[in-house]
Structure formats: structure tokens, C-alpha cells
């Protein structure tokens, strides 16, 4: 068998929420439907039997209007730590999402492994972009539900915007404000 690192897309992301909060966004079908898939896609979940061996059926709706039926099976689930699925329709792969507590939040490790290097290389560019977008959408869902109706603030400490941001917020959203961590939550400070 070919080495895993040559047939996998692996990446990680940090979200300022507990592993339990991240896992909640991965284990609730209504929440998964909000974040699953690349940017511009939406999902309709038909079956979500969230247990090892359980079936996950969904249709991804592309921005081009095309529907993409998907069938997966949950292979491993460790609450607050790990989710692993085997994608059975179309491109065959195993996706592992591991959660590790880290510095006031969670490090999400995302690894999508295909059967062969040749298969992976044919779609590697698309997979890399799609996985990055999936991680961004997952983080946004976690922060959205954690902070409904509240300004963004990291776990364990309140984020206070600089005075320049407070003045500018009347004319633009916080998404144009540059800071060390990317704001992934939809802005609630409307102009």
C-alpha cells in the first residue's frame, strides 16, 4: 500500500471554543447541514445515524445548481475527541477529524485519505481548497452558536476591540478589521 501522507490532504485549524463545543457542531445533523461542504454549497441531510457503523446520506447543492448525492458511514466516534467517516459514493476516502484541547480552545486536525496516490493527485487541488473552506465553515458554526447575540470573545477572556475599530464599525463590519485571529463569526455589529 502507498504511504498515507502521499495520498492524503491533512490540515489543522484552531477555534476558540472547547472540544465539546466543536464536537457538538459535528454531531448535530441540523448544524452539520449549515457548515458541511465548500463555500457556496448547502446540504440537505436525509439520514444521520450518528454512531459507529451508522449511515449518513446527504445531498450537497452546488452554487452551480447541481446536486451531489453522498453516502458515508461513521466508522469511529469518540465524543469530544474524534470523528471518522468512510465516504462510499463517488470518490472513496476516509475522513478523520481529531479535536485536541489547546490554549483556550481546540486544535482541529482534518485528514482526508484516498485509496491511491493517483486518485488523490487528480483532485488534490480541489480537495485542499474544499477542506480549508470546510474548516472555516465549521469554526464559524461553532462560534455562531456559542455567541448568539453576543460580540465575539475568545474562551476564557473577553475580546475588546480597539478604539479605532469602535469608530469604524459604524461604516463597515468587523470582517474588514485586521487582527491576529480571523473573525469567522458573522458580524453582529451592523453599520
* DSSP-derived secondary structure letter, 176: G
Lowest mean pLDDT among 2-6, 22-26, 153-157, 160-164: 160-164
173 lies in the same domain as 136: no
Identify the three-state secondary structure at position 20. helix
Quote the CA–CA distance of 165 and 54 in Å, as a whole number: 47
- Residue 10 scores a pLDDT above 80: yes
- Residue 149 scores a pLDDT above 90: no
121 lies in the same domain as 181: no
Q: Domain range for residue 87?
A: 4-146
Predicted local distance difference test score (pLDDT) of residue 147: 62
- Residue 112 scores a pLDDT above 80: yes
- Residue 5 scores a pLDDT above 60: yes
- Residue 57 scores a pLDDT above 60: yes
Predicted local distance difference test score (pLDDT) of residue 103: 86
Looking at every residue in the chain, the average pLDDT score rounds to 83
Quote the CA–CA distance of 168 and 124 in Å, as a whole number: 40
151 band by pLDDT with thresholds 50, 70 and 90: very low
121 lies in the same domain as 170: no
- Percent of the chain at pLDDT above 70? 76
116 lies in the same domain as 191: no
Choose between 176 and 21: higher pLDDT.
21
Evaluated on CA atoms 64, 27, 97, 133, the torsion sign reads positive
* pTM score, whole prediction: 0.76
131 lies in the same domain as 90: yes
Mean pLDDT of 25-38: 97
81 lies in the same domain as 45: yes
Query: How many structural domains are present in the chain?
Result: 2
Give the helix ranges, DSSP H, for the chain: 19-27, 29-35, 117-146, 163-168
Polymer length in residues for the chain = 191
CATH code at position 28:
3.30.530.20
Predicted local distance difference test score (pLDDT) of residue 145: 81
Nearest to 106 by CA among 153, 154, 64: 154
CA distances from 92 to 16, 106, 116, 137 (A): 32, 28, 10, 23
CB 114 within 8 A of CB 93: yes
Predicted local distance difference test score (pLDDT) of residue 157: 44
CB 53 within 8 A of CB 110: no
124 lies in the same domain as 174: no
Estimate to the nearest angstrom the gap between the alpha carbon of 187 and the chain centroid. Answer: 19
- Residue 34 scores a pLDDT above 80: yes
49 lies in the same domain as 90: yes
Amino acid at each position: 500500500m502507498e504511504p498515507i501522507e502521499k495520498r492524503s490532504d491533512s490540515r489543522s485549524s484552531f477555534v476558540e471554543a472547547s472540544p465539546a463545543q466543536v464536537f457538538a457542531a459535528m454531531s448535530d445533523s441540523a448544524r452539520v447541514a449549515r457548515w458541511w461542504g465548500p463555500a457556496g454549497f448547502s446540504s440537505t441531510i436525509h439520514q444521520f445515524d450518528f454512531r459507529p457503523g451508522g449511515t449518513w446520506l446527504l445531498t450537497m447543492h452546488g452554487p452551480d445548481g447541481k446536486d451531489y448525492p453522498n453516502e458515508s458511514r461513521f466508522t469511529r466516534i469518540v465524543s469530544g475527541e474524534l470523528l471518522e467517516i468512510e465516504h462510499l459514493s463517488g470518490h472513496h476516502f476516509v475522513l478523520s477529524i481529531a479535536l485536541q484541547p489547546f490554549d483556550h480552545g481546540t486544535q482541529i486536525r482534518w485528514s482526508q485519505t484516498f485509496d491511491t496516490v493517483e486518485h488523490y493527485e487528480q483532485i488534490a487541488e480541489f480537495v485542499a481548497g474544499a477542506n480549508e473552506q470546510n474548516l472555516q465553515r465549521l469554526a464559524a458554526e461553532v462560534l455562531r452558536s456559542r455567541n448568539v447575540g453576543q460580540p465575539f470573545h475568545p474562551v476564557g477572556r473577553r475580546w475588546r476591540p480597539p478604539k479605532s475599530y469602535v469608530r469604524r464599525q459604524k461604516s463597515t463590519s468587523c470582517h474588514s478589521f485586521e487582527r491576529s485571529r480571523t473573525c469567522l463569526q458573522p458580524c453582529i455589529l451592523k453599520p
